[in-house]
Amino acid sequence: MVVGDVLREKREQKGISLEDIASKTNIRISYLHDLENGNYETIPSEIYVKGYLKLVAESLGLDVSDILALYSEEREKVYGECREEPLDSHKYGIKNIIIFGIGSLIIIFALVSVFLFIGNSDDMQYSKGSSVFFHQKGHSGVGVTGPHLLKIIANETTWIMMVIDNKKVEEYILKRGDVITKKGNEGFYIKVGNAGGVSVFLDNENMGNLGKKGEVVKVSIPQDFKLARSLEKMFQIKKPL
């Protein structure tokens, strides 16, 4: 039995509608339909599929680990396991081995170039007006050097996309009571899907509300931290609730 069948069967047994689950989890009804029908490609990324499955499973009283394991098995059957064949010099010949080696060097060079590009992000230009900045008295963040400690407490279900020091990108789906604690030397840039559903603390100081309930907000913390241009496109994608 596939994941969607398990979710639908349990929901119908309990007499719960998709509207009820949507209201409880803040997940769009269209995505709930997709989960039950196995249309995972319509959901932006793997982390959201698993996050939604976790929320739905909990709302239906199902074992989350069982549902995620069943999902992994289902995806493995669809795509199969990718196994690399060992390189056989007798099969491919010296010419193909040389081509393989050159290709590997090109890939390594490209990866090094990307890391150097991101590492030199201080010399880049940045977009203006795409972020909400804190102007709270006593902790504007201007001129304050790191390291910084950021704590986010979820008061309601929400998703969060976060960049730390313009180097590390992380994504979360939080439920009420969940807490994220992160350290950064330069600062943080976050995008929140439910601005009124989180409380944010910088260096143990309450930064106040990010916005209204259900509002999508992008925030620089501290206020003088700027998102690297190489990461801007990532934050232009509107993530679903």
Instruction: Quickly count: other Cβ atoms within 10 Å of residue 192's Cβ.
Output: 26
Domain boundaries, the chain: 3-79, 89-119, 125-236
Query: What's the half-sphere exposure (Cβ side, CA atoms, 13 Å) at 38?
Result: 14
User: Using one digit for the tens of pLDDT, what is the confidence trace for 176-204?
Assistant: 899 999 999 989 999 998 888 999 998 88
Per-residue pLDDT tens over the stretch 216-232 = 888 888 888 888 887 77
User: What CA–CA distance (Å, rounded) separates 25 from 5?
Assistant: 19
What is the DSSP annotation of 184-228?
ESS-EEEEES-GGGEEEEETTEE----SSTT--EEEEESTT----
Rounded alpha-carbon distances, angstroms, from residue 26 to 45, 69, 240: 17, 23, 10
Query: 172, 160 in Cβ contact below 8 A?
Result: yes
> What is the per-residue pLDDT for 118?
43
What's the CATH class of domain 3-79?
A: mainly alpha
Q: What is the pLDDT of residues 86-102, one digit of tens each?
A: 545 454 456 566 666 67
Kindly give the confidence (pLDDT) of every residue in the chain, 241 residues in length, as a single tens digit, with 9 standing for 90 and above. 789 999 999 999 999 999 999 888 888 888 899 999 988 888 877 778 888 898 899 999 999 899 999 998 888 876 655 444 454 545 445 656 666 667 666 766 666 554 444 444 443 333 333 344 444 434 444 445 568 999 999 999 988 988 999 888 888 888 989 999 999 998 999 999 888 899 999 888 888 778 888 888 888 888 888 888 877 776 664 444 4
DSSP state string for the chain: --HHHHHHHHHHHHT--HHHHHHHH---HHHHHHHHHT-GGGSS-HHHHHHHHHHHHHHHT--HHHHHHHHHHHHHHHH----PPPP-HHHHHHHHHHHHHHHHHHHHHHHHHHHHHHHTGGGS---SSSSEE---TT---TT--S-EEEEEEESS-EEEEEEETTTEEEEEEE-TT-EEEEEESS-EEEEES-GGGEEEEETTEE----SSTT--EEEEESTT----GGGHHHHHS----
pLDDT of residue 181: 92
Tell me the sheet residues that pair with 182: 150
